[in-house]
Amino acid sequence: MSRKRETVLVTGSSSGIGLDIARGFLEKGFNVVLNARNEKKLSEAARVLGQDNPIAWVAGDIGNKETGEKMVRAAVDRFGGVNVLVNNAGIFGVKPFLENSEEDLDAFIHTNLKGTYFVSQAAVRQMKKQGGGSIVNIGTVLVLHPTASLPATAPLVTKGGVHALTTSLASELAADNIRVNAVAAGTIRTPLWGDADVDSFSGTTLMNRVGEVGEITEAVFNLAASSFTTGVILPVDGGYVHGRS
Ligand SMILES: NC(=O)c1ccc[n+]([C@@H]2O[C@H](COP(=O)([O-])OP(=O)(O)OC[C@H]3O[C@@H](n4cnc5c(N)ncnc54)[C@H](OP(=O)(O)O)[C@@H]3O)[C@@H](O)[C@H]2O)c1
């Protein structure tokens, strides 16, 4: 007997880690709902992932409450429900503490914190109706182990909030059969780094290299599938938190 295909929502899936997570879940037989703000890049991502695959996409800013609601509606209308949410969309930037303006801080709160919170609310509402589900958030090891060479208080206070949301939601929602975990990503080779030489961070890890997107996808999939695991914040960082130099 064939098993019903499950459905995953992946925010920020037009680029980098999110795009690869979408690819990975499709490969595992999931239906996928993609999201990002830039519609052109998002439709191109859907094309790259394969037009014959079970993909829906919702262009929109996750900091606006309606975006998560639209993603859930797309999942229910097209695929019949939501089983997994990957809160991946996020922004990062390095700036010394005293140089951050109110606008800088608001931008990180809007996307990283409010966005993750609102999409989770929309998905949890649906998961409760279905009797359970699984959420995986993308955090960062810089919350656990900041470094003076990357001053980033504005993004990090919001990613710290994502870590707190992970553990507090895990405790609130376990009774509803909803598990909530996070990957605390180390330095991963993605377009987020722009022109920066990402390999220059290799020496900060025990493994003497930066990570590749597929290595985050692997951990996200495993957390989503681990039926007795909730409230875990898993560093996927080549040993960065233990330091090398
Ligand atoms: N790369 C790393 O070394 C690293 C390390 C630790 C944690 N992370 C985290 O991993 C996640 C993915 O990062 P990445 O490196 O893959 O970055 P990326 O290549 O810049 O991709 C970010 C994705 O998020 C989307 N996005 C940004 N703001 C959004 C918003 N308000 N609403 C909806 N979509 C939004 C972007 O598309 P649009 O711009 O079109 O919206 C894009 O699809 C982020 O949460 C980041 O903080 C990355």
Choose the residue to mutate in 190, 209, 217 for probing ligand 1, maximizing ligand atoms within 8 Å of C-beta: 190
Q: What is the pLDDT of residues 73-97, one digit of tens each?
A: 999 999 999 999 999 999 999 999 9
- 245 pLDDT band, cuts 50/70/90, is low
* Average of per-residue pLDDT across 174-188: 98
Q: Whose CA is nearest to atom 36 of ligand 1?
A: 12
* Average of per-residue pLDDT across 198-207: 96
CB 22 within 8 A of CB 45: yes
- Residue 31 tokens read as 């239906």
User: Which residue is associated with the tokens 């930066």?
Assistant: 210
**Residues 201, 23: Cα–Cα separation, whole Å:** 26
User: What local confidence, expressed as pLDDT, does residue 148 receive?
Assistant: 94
- 51 pLDDT band, cuts 50/70/90, is confident
CB 97 within 8 A of CB 153: yes
216 has which bridge partners? none
Domains of the chain: 7-190+213-235 (3.40.50.720)
**Residues 190, 110: Cα–Cα separation, whole Å:** 22
Q: Which residues line ligand 1 (CB under 6 A)?
A: 11-18, 35-38, 41, 61-63, 88-92, 111, 115, 138, 140, 185, 187-188, 190-192
The rounded mean pLDDT for the chain is 97
User: Which residue is associated with the tokens 């608001």?
Assistant: 106
User: What local confidence, expressed as pLDDT, does residue 243 receive?
Assistant: 75
User: What local confidence, expressed as pLDDT, does residue 219 receive?
Assistant: 98
User: What local confidence, expressed as pLDDT, does residue 1 receive?
Assistant: 47
Choose the residue to mutate in 37, 159, 202, 215 for probing ligand 1, maximizing ligand atoms within 8 Å of C-beta: 37
